[in-house]
Chain A
Amino acid sequence: MEQCKKGDDSAFRELYMLYSKPMFNASMRILNNRDEAEDVLQESFVAAFRHIRSFEEKGSFGSWLKRIVINKSLDALKKQKQNFVQVDELNIAEEETEEETGIEYDAVALQKAIDRLPDGYRVILTLFLFEDYSHRMIAEKLGISESTSKSQYLRARKKLGAYLKEQQ
């Protein structure tokens, strides 16, 4: 990191090699579009490297970079005018995730099933499960209500369960 702060090109490259794949996949989970995700990846690394001096090593560089990637991915999503359907906020509790019962997870199959989810479902599920966002944070980020986030998440889980059962 010290070498990066001194502007060492090879140190930047090492960081890029280390983080490009997980960051790209994080962006893909939100955008589900290679071109857009590669744009985000490029912009995120450039932004992070340009501001590397302001990075305080309290947390890991990866976490810091991940925040940039997620924020930029969500920005890109907003530019696509992604609409999150406001769903009925009632009876959320009734929509259980029983569809997943008895499913044995497989990493690749699970990711492929997530990729198949409709955009709105996929984004909320990704933020909640992968990025540890609370529904309140998701609601703020996406400009939706907290209950909408919850209901969309439950529906996403239900659909995901159905996809996984199809695959088994």
Chain B
Amino acid sequence: MITGNGIVKTFKQRGSVLGGREVRALRGVDFSIAKGGAASFIGESGCGKTTLGRIIAGLETYDGGEIAIDGVPMSSLTPKQRQPHFRKIQLIHQDPYSALNPTRTIHQTLRAPLALRAKQTGRSRTWMDERAAEVLSLVGLDPATVLARYPHQLSGGMRQRVVIARALTVDPEMLVADEAVSMIDVSLRLGILALLKDLRERLGVSVLFITHDVATARYIGGDGDLYVIYRGQVVERGPVDTVIADPVHPYTQSLLSAIPVLHGLEQPGEQPVVPLEALEAGQDDAGCLFAPRCPFRGERCETERPLLRLTEGVPQEHACFYPERRSVIARPMSEV
């Protein structure tokens, strides 16, 4: 449904005395997400996954590369012509509270995009009200109780559902969930995740899940690709279960090793990888971006930057000269 090639994004920081500094948020990223499919982006904060998600949702510009939606290259369109395409992709924010206008009731919040839709498709007032009730039911909320409320009267989980309902009012083809559950209580997270999964099945909506919590990515996008992003570059990409069980890039292995092990319920992985402590690396040293922290770095890594590609014997794409499968994640106790 959407593909991107060589996406580059640079932020110019307006530094005061030192003059502007450039931050390479994305360094030539490729991605593709099928209609009704799923994808997940994982990485640490500042790696560029949020920026990429926002670019995909049309909320951020990009400085290089091509994006095509439903086969139509965006570069061939004017900014105004691009809007209806990007509108098919809706972003679900991390913070459900700031994503809703605190001075408007849920009904008012839903009415605005519905009014737009009604005008576009020539529908009536009654249709708007019915559709509002419909999207609320789709996300598991009772319209009668919720419509007249203000956001602060709803719990975090309910608010996030309202945000999803609002996204559904424009009949999107894809939802980008950026850390959509990290600010919600643990016991309620699964409900939202299950909802997103359900919407995929029922409405055929694709879901792009951006998170630092790999297990949640697996829950929704288990049948799609997992992209591991480090400092603006995709360092590993492949089917979710493959990357989790048999990661080959040292960074992926570090990330997965860092996931807390529920001792008593599971046992630690066999070969956990701990990255080295590194001082502030320069922006654009030649060589692999992860090299300063990589416990397995070789000579080649310091001078040449590996590109994302397939090599023999490894099912998933990776950006490493010395990929090696290591079993790092925790396993249930019963597997002993």
**A and B are interacting partners:** no
